[in-house]
Amino acid sequence: MKINIVKYIFILFVIGIIGFVIFKLNEEKNNQPEEVTQNVQEEEIIKEINLGVAEFDSINPLLSSNKQIQELSKIIFEPMLQINNEYKIEKCLVKDWAKTSETQYIIKLDDTIQWSDGNKLTADDVIFTIQTIKNLNSIYSDNVKNIVDVIKVDENTIRIYLDQEIPFFEYNLIFPILSLKYFEGQDFVNTEKNNMPIGTGKYKIIENSAEKIVLEKNPNYKKEELIPEKITINKYANLGELYNAFKLGKVDLISTNNIGIENYIGTIGYNKTEINGREFDFLAINTQSDVLSNKEVRQAIARAINRDNIISQIYNNKYKVQDYFLDYGNWLQGEKADLSYSPDTAISILQNNGWEYKYNRWQKVINYRTKRIKLNLVVQATNQTRVTIAEMIKTNLEEIGMDVNVIKANDKQYESYLTRKNYDMLLTGVTLSLSPNLQTFFGTGNLANYNNEEINSILNEVKNITKEDLLKEKYNRIRQIYNDELPYIGLYSNFYEVAYNWTLKGSIPVNWYNIYSTIESWYKN
């Protein structure tokens, strides 16, 4: 009996200890939310963002030629179609669209979209915008130059007629749409309504003074939740003032392709990200010349050029090596080849293709004739930077035994070379389009005098392909052929630096089409 009593007492004692431990754990747990709540209150987010613009001209995006305004306008106004972070076309103001013939497109608008004043978006607004752009000297003039007519099918549907087939024309439909009712009866260029035009975008203008533009949430924007409640765009006389304001913390974010930006804002006290740019320089290779018709010679040239050294010496590492026209992040860019600097690889390529280095030159017997690698490299004399780079390329090629002569052509001679394409190699560059259309580089009259039947067939097919998997497959094949045959040798492209205050949080931009595409997630703490 005594043993049982002791046992019960021991059990009760253990239960008591367990109960006490549970009580203390619950007490600690109950206290925790209070502490977390306190921390959250201490780290309360700030929902106001300060941006800036230098040399302000107009907040009307059809009239402005200011790059910063064009960037900022995307949070106020919307296009029919827009470009996502992979440079892929996607719907914005439209519910659906289709190419119905080589020169016709039909577009159905989203009938749930409203302007910030509460009026509904209609087909009349789109027609008004297109007609207005066609009558202006606007940065969007090229987008509509091939439109010969726009027909209203119904309140939410339009049909667009082109003067010729434009591959991937839908990439032109990214201009901002403005309200007909708002501007009706006004002198579009000179009306005071240009101070506070309405849009369908994330934010609306509530103030536009000499010092600043103030934006608030558009109450009729329903696509996603917006964290920032107020955005102030301060106006500055020049870029120097804007950079200084950023340095002093008065502006939360700036974007620039100024290779000397650190001279203005320093190197510490902010975060930054880099965005591939649009300016792409390359060598156009005359694939019809005696020597350069041999793809192995082109491959050897590509491996002999020290592009990293050019970028370091000429551009202070503010440019990036780029091989191909879509390598700025386009979803159709395909898989890259290894074209890194390797003189030994260049020499091996030549040797494996039957070239011999004799008498201080590369030579090979082709069709009973001895061919020697002696190349002319044309560059525009008035572009001193490119002249210097041409000399650097000449040095690189001479290091593997190639004989290169740099022709510094005056402007008239340079235009003649571009027209006649009577060069071996041409150092040039382009501003890359948002469209993945590659006709300029591989189609009739291209700078490389290049003709590939398979690529021609693919380019003809992709004009009408809408299935993404199939489109990607076709572009991958183009890239494979390009990597092997190298009718062009890509050199480098610029990039933008986006510098932002260390207190600015959220998803920061990843492409140059719309650096504010994720602004709805931004906040400060």
Write out pLDDT tens, residues 469-507.
999 999 999 999 999 999 999 999 999 889 999 999 998
Cα–Cα distance, 451 to 484 (Å, whole number)? 14
Residue 308 has pLDDT above 80, yes or no: yes
Position 43 scores a pLDDT of: 55
Q: Which residue did the predictor score with more confidence, 88 or 32?
A: 88
pLDDT in tens, 353-381: 999 999 889 999 988 888 999 999 999 99
Task: Say what the pLDDT of residue 15 is.
Answer: 55
For 276-496, CATH number?
3.10.105.10
Rounded mean pLDDT, 70-83: 96
pLDDT confidence tier of residue 17, bands split at 50, 70 and 90: low
pLDDT above 70 as % of the chain:
92
Q: Give me the pLDDT at residue 16, please.
A: 54
At 60, the amino acid letter reads N
Domain boundaries of the chain, sorted by first residue: 50-252+503-524, 276-496
Q: Distance (Å, rounded) from C-alpha 87 to C-alpha 330?
A: 5
Distance of CA 29 to the CA centre of its chain: 49
Q: What is the pLDDT of residues 134-164, one digit of tens each?
A: 999 999 999 999 999 999 999 999 999 999 9
b/e map 255-288, b = 16+ CB within 10 Å: bbbbbebeebbeeeebebeebbbbbbbbbbbbbe
* Cα–Cα separations (whole angstroms), residue 478 to 114, 449, 454, 484: 42, 17, 8, 10
Cα 296 from chain centre: 32
Average pLDDT over residues 214-220: 97
112 versus 261: the higher-pLDDT residue is 112
* Residue 386, pLDDT above cutoff 70: yes
Q: Are 270 and 253 in contact (CB under 8 A)?
A: no
Class of domain 50-252+503-524 as given by CATH: alpha beta
One fold for 50-252+503-524 and 276-496: no
Sorting pLDDT into bands at 50, 70 and 90, what band is 29?
A: very low
Looking at per-residue pLDDT, the higher value among 108 and 371 belongs to 108
**Percent of the chain's residues with pLDDT above 90:** 82
